Amino acid sequence: MEEVISKNATNYKELLRNYMESQDEQALYGVEKVSKAFIKNNILPEEIVNLHIQAMAEVCNDLTEDYKNSMNFLLEAMIFYGLAMQEIPLLREEKHILQSEISVAASMQKTLLGTNKPEINGMDIGVISVPAHQMNGDYHHFVKGKDGSLGIAIADVIGKGIPAALCMSMIKYSMDSYPEESMSPKSILKNLNRVVERNVDPSMFITMCYAHYQPQESKLSFSSAGHEPGYYYNAETDTFKEFETRGLVLGVSPDTEYKEYEMTINKDDMVILLTDGVTECRDGDRFIESQEVLDIIKKYSDLPAQEMVENVYKHFERLQDFQLRDDFTLMVLRKNS
Q: How far is the CB of 29 from another protein (least distance, A)?
A: 27
Stretch that binds another protein, among 30-38, 71-79, 273-281, 320-328 (CB under 8 A): 71-79
Using only the alpha carbons of the chain, give its radius of gyration: 31
Strand-strand pairing, 286-287 and 138-144:
unpaired
Told to check if 217 binds another protein by CB under 8 A, we report no
C-alpha dist (Å) from residue 225 to 101, 116, 137, 331: 33, 24, 16, 17
Per rule CB under 8 A, is residue 269 in the interface with another protein? no
Out of 10, 22, 72, 216, the only residue in the binding site for another protein (CB under 8 A) is 72
Q: Applying CB under 8 A, does 6 fall inside the site for another protein?
A: no
**Closest Cα partner for 225 from 286, 317, 153, 312?**
153
Q: Is residue 90 within the footprint of another protein (CB under 8 A)?
A: yes
Number of residues that bind another protein (CB under 8 A): 15
CB 302 within 8 A of CB 311: no
Q: Which of 26, 41, 86, 100 binds another protein (CB under 8 A)?
A: 86
Comparing CB distances to another protein, the nearer of 88 and 104 is 88
Out of 4, 9, 53, 303, the only residue in the binding site for another protein (CB under 8 A) is 53
Tell me how far apart the alpha carbons of residues 319 and 286 are, in angstroms, rounded to a whole number.
11
The CA–CA distances, whole Å, from 247 to 201, 212, 244, 250 equal 20, 17, 10, 9
Is 43 a residue that touches another protein (CB under 8 A)? no
Residue 224 burial class via C-beta count within 10 angstroms: exposed 0-12, middle 13-18, buried 19 and up: buried
With beta carbons less than 8 A apart as the criterion, state whether 257 and 190 touch: yes
Instruction: Please pick, from the candidates 87, 119, 236, 244, the single residue that binds another protein as defined by CB under 8 A.
Output: 87
Residue 75 within binding range of another protein, rule CB under 8 A: yes
79 binds another protein (CB under 8 A): yes
List residues binding another protein (CB under 8 A).
Answer: 46-47, 50, 53, 72, 75-76, 79-80, 83-84, 86-87, 90-91
